[in-house]
Structure 1
Amino acid sequence: MNHKEVAEKLVPLLGGKANVVSATHCATRLRLVIDDESQIDKSAIEELDGVKGAFSSSGQFQIIFGTGTVNKVFAHFGPLVGVSMEEEEGGKDVSHKDAAKRKMNPFARFARTLSNIFVPIIPAIVAAGMLMGLLGLMNTYNWVDPESGMFVMLDMFSSASFIILPILIGFSAAKEFGGNTYLGAVIGGIMTHPSLLNPWGLSDAQPETLDFLGFGVEMLGYQGTVIPVLLTVYVMAKMEQGFRKIVPNAIDLLLTPFLTVIFTGFVALLVVGPLGRMLGNGLTSVLGIVYETAGPIAGLIFGGLYSTIVLTGVHHSFHAIEAELLNVGGNYLLPIWAMANVAQGGATLAVFFKTKNKKTKEIALPAGISAFLGITEPAIFGVNLKHRRPFIGAAIGGALGGAYVVFTQVMANGIGLTGLPMFAIAQDPINYGIGCLIAIGGAVIATLLLGWKEEVK
């Protein structure tokens, strides 16, 4: 394809340069904030060479090109609408996020905020989850003595991410909330200080109680927790912003961090931290009750509805919930989401084998493979949702797979990975694999039985 020619054709189909408020791209899609989306000729855009689909979501109009192609198109498209690659990698990207958020409803904005906080942390949690899986295999099959130096060191490596999770979240959340990132990390450090009892893996230990101005402060740390540090860093960012407004510029560098750390530290240990712990424990308890009582029915419902939830953008908020679940034995939500994702790939493959439309075939095969690797947007928006009934077929497959992984109690040691990559962090790879086959097979059969109206073009 001629990337420059596609970029030039794209601008008028979007309503012209003036209609594009800001632009950036991810691994597979152009992400555009549009002033008036009614000026977009969506059907003509989808007919352009290399375009695998287009949709509006999360305050952005997104055009799917695929890995390796999107950055080449953007290199020509960016200058045409006033965005360069250098700007996209720096300050311009921040303004793009702000512009996209302004077009979202409050709930979608909240979900996107949580996503922006947790997505950068996912590699650390995934690495820890894979190490936990390796340690589990070593222990189950007696590959290494649990008392050996190798096992002890790997155990240290696997638990480190969860022990310092509040520090990682503190840094990332401060960036998202508009605070100083290093102060956010310091607040996370206060909440995981060695003077506080580490609850990670210590179920019977009892923390000491410190007397502070007549109040009893429980000296219990927040290692591995999520909600307490999120709330605390949000308060920290607001305090820091407030202090900067009243502290003279001449002493701002010295006094603002000093006041921020002191006041936020007291708030963290006396109020927000304990409250956040109660909220986190309550959330995991409620989910645990639903998981244990509803069982496969919960998997059936969540697996069937997850792809529809993806359309709303609310799924971005699930990372925070999943990270909290890792403290209670494992993430049992991620395998359900994985079933919904691979089912989208199965439905797309069914379309690929049955359709006679050349353009649909070109999109369907790579989109299906992408869904099996955990990236579902090309399959959902480029094929299944476009034809409607394949999307329903994928929901049926996701429901069946979700019911199976809940029935067999498949859990994950991390967050963020679905599809085939999730084998690396699945606690029960065999039943996870069977669940994938059920989801894919169910989606293929359901899609072929439901059929769809073939496009004339």
Structure 2
Amino acid sequence: MSNLNQAAKDIVEAIGGKENISAATHCVTRLRFALNDESKVDKERLENIDVVKGSFSTNGQFQVVIGQGTVNKVYNEMVNETGIGEASKDDVKSASEKNLNPLQRFVKMLSDIFIPILPAIVTAGLLLGINNLLTGERIFFEAPLIEVYPQIADIANIINIIANTAFTFLPALIGWSAVKRFGGSPLLGIVLGLTLVHPELLSAYAYGTAEQIPTWNLFGLEIEKIGYQGSVLPILVASYLLAVIEKFLTKRIPDSIQMLIVPPVTLLITGFASFIAIAPLTFALGNLLTDGVIALFANFAALGGILYGGLYAVLVITGMHHTFLAVDIQLANAGGTFLWPMLALSNIAQGSAALAIMVASKDEKQKGLAGTSALSAYLGVTEPAMFGVNLRYRYPFIAAIIASAIGGLIISIAGVKAFSIGVGGLPAFLSISKEYWLMFAIGVLITLVVPFVITYFMAKAKMKNEK
């Protein structure tokens, strides 16, 4: 019997046996379970299994951190050897929703919509950062790099086009993911999103400076003929309506003519409703929320920096951090987000705390786990560090929170902004506006040093007391 085979069986037994599993699947690093009764989980036994790096419960799912490259093998062994049927992520999500309250369901809905499109947004942010290095003044020379080396100007332009695509057609990405989440046809979601940014419409980015706003005259109503580039709420609400209408018609239209009736009627009704009511109202609401957040941080920057910087890691534990992704996107499109840089500092702080455990520990397994988890956190993925190391000992997690609160305070007072969402770790400077690099670097230095020093000396003191 292979080690992974035995590990899979041990994991099943530790979480209460196969009869306690309603559904199971895996992602890149974790096994995901919908359990009938989480109180049956023996966490101490579970986390003593060699391949297990940590475990936690969130959004109705019990997740076991295994690690990239190994998790799929453990999952396959678990399916083959224990008789647990393979399930899709949607199956597990559906099974786990019965354990959620209304707020958790809402947070989970946002998570389900934004997580699938996050790679495109992060990639776009990273590429925009590279483009800014090539085109920005006073970075390498007084003049932009493309002027010093004109031969790379076209390369920078192509990078810029690739990078901007995800943000230019953001409603299409959200439309695809949201309609899929709501049970409709993802393709219709893409079309709806593209409709809201059609080239014939006045761009939302030009709305504020336009001398004259074009309009439609519909039954005596003057409807502004504008696009909704970079907006989140209009496509979210419109996608929900589209899915509802599509499912309603699909149940009532004969199969033989569904193709001719359902898609065009669904798109026409949703499209008219979007331009007449949904988009204008939600666009105004989105701007109001954005202005409110900006005003809050403008007047209470220090408090906001301490709270968001310090508590972001706590939000990750609860899953509530996904609710701020939409706000981050909206802020980035409104001139820059001051929330995302604090996210990056929080991730770095968790990595530094885990790194200190690696240096201080004498246990080879713990050193290996802490080292790989720290690297992962420095690159923006904190779950292995938080759940596998820092929360297990508590004081590293607290040290990271203290450091990220201090870092958040400093960069918030300084008004540090990111022009896009990028890699939430050490590469984050690529997404930070150039004029804020120095203050952001100070924040990074704090989150590199403070949690490491606190955690290291506390770990050494505890080891000394245990002798």
Relative to the length of structure 2, the TM-score reads 0.89
Q: Is contact 1:169–1:229 with CA below 8 Å preserved after alignment?
A: yes
Q: In the alignment, what sits opposite 2:448?
A: 440
Distance 1:106 1:130, change over 3 A: same
Query: How far, CA to CA, are the matches of 1:133 and 1:64 in structure 2?
Result: 31
Q: 79, 96, 102: which one pairs with 2:98?
A: 102
Q: In the alignment, what sits opposite 2:3?
A: 2
Query: How far, CA to CA, are the matches of 1:388 and 1:44 in structure 2?
Result: 19
Distance 1:442 1:283, change over 3 A: same
Could you list the per-position Cα deviations for residues 362-400 of structure 1 after superposition, in whole angstroms to 9, with x for gaps in the alignment? 432222222112111122122222222222111101111
1:29-428 matches, within 5 Å, as 29-83=30-84, 87-88=86-87, 92-137=88-133, 138-140=135-137, 141-145=143-147, 153-200=158-205, 203-205=208-210, 206-356=212-362, 359-415=365-421, 417-428=423-434
Q: Aligned residues: percent identity?
A: 40
Look up the equivalent residue of 1:13 and give its one-letter code: A
Could you list the per-position Cα deviations for residues 392-416 of structure 1 after superposition, in whole angstroms to 9, with x for gaps in the alignment? 1111011111122223333223325
Secondary structure, aligned partner of 2:64: strand
Query: How many residue pairs get matched?
Result: 452
Query: How far, CA to CA, are the matches of 1:38 and 1:149 in structure 2?
Result: 59
Structure 1 stretch displaced more, 195-204 or 206-215: 195-204
Distance 1:334 1:23, change over 3 A: same
* Shift, 1:78, TM fit: 2.1
Q: In the alignment, what sits opposite 2:140?
A: none
Secondary structure, aligned partner of 1:200: helix
Structure 1 stretch displaced more, 99-108 or 299-308: 99-108
Secondary structure, aligned partner of 2:327: helix
Query: How far, CA to CA, are the matches of 2:429 and 2:390 in structure 1?
Result: 25
Q: Is contact 2:359–2:456 with CA below 8 Å preserved after alignment?
A: no
Query: How far, CA to CA, are the matches of 1:381 and 1:150 in structure 2?
Result: 42
Look up the equivalent residue of 1:441 and give its one-letter code: V
Query: How far, CA to CA, are the matches of 2:214 and 2:413 in structure 1?
Result: 41
Query: How far, CA to CA, are the matches of 1:301 and 1:20 in structure 2?
Result: 37
Secondary structure, aligned partner of 1:144: helix
Query: How far, CA to CA, are the matches of 1:110 and 1:416 in structure 2?
Result: 25
* Shift, 1:155, TM fit: 4.1
Secondary structure, aligned partner of 2:209: coil
Query: How far, CA to CA, are the matches of 1:268 and 1:218 in structure 2?
Result: 12
Q: Is contact 1:334–1:415 with CA below 8 Å preserved after alignment?
A: yes
Could you list the per-position Cα deviations for residues 9-50 of structure 1 after superposition, in whole angstroms to 9, with x for gaps in the alignment? 222222221111111112221111111122221101111112
* Shift, 1:201, TM fit: 5.1
Distance 1:309 1:236, change over 3 A: same
Distance 1:110 1:196, change over 3 A: same
Relative to the length of structure 1, the TM-score reads 0.91
Query: How far, CA to CA, are the matches of 1:388 and 1:128 in structure 2?
Result: 35
Could you list the per-position Cα deviations for residues 410-450 of structure 1 after superposition, in whole angstroms to 9, with x for gaps in the alignment? 32233252112323323244443332121121222333566
Structure 1 unmatched runs, 5+: none
Structure 1 stretch displaced more, 432-441 or 45-54: 432-441
* Shift, 1:358, TM fit: 5.2
Q: What's the C-alpha RMSD, in Å, of the aligned pairs?
A: 2.5
Q: Is contact 1:107–1:314 with CA below 8 Å preserved after alignment?
A: no
Query: How far, CA to CA, are the matches of 1:175 and 1:196 in structure 2?
Result: 26
Q: In the alignment, what sits opposite 2:19?
A: 18
Secondary structure, aligned partner of 2:200: coil
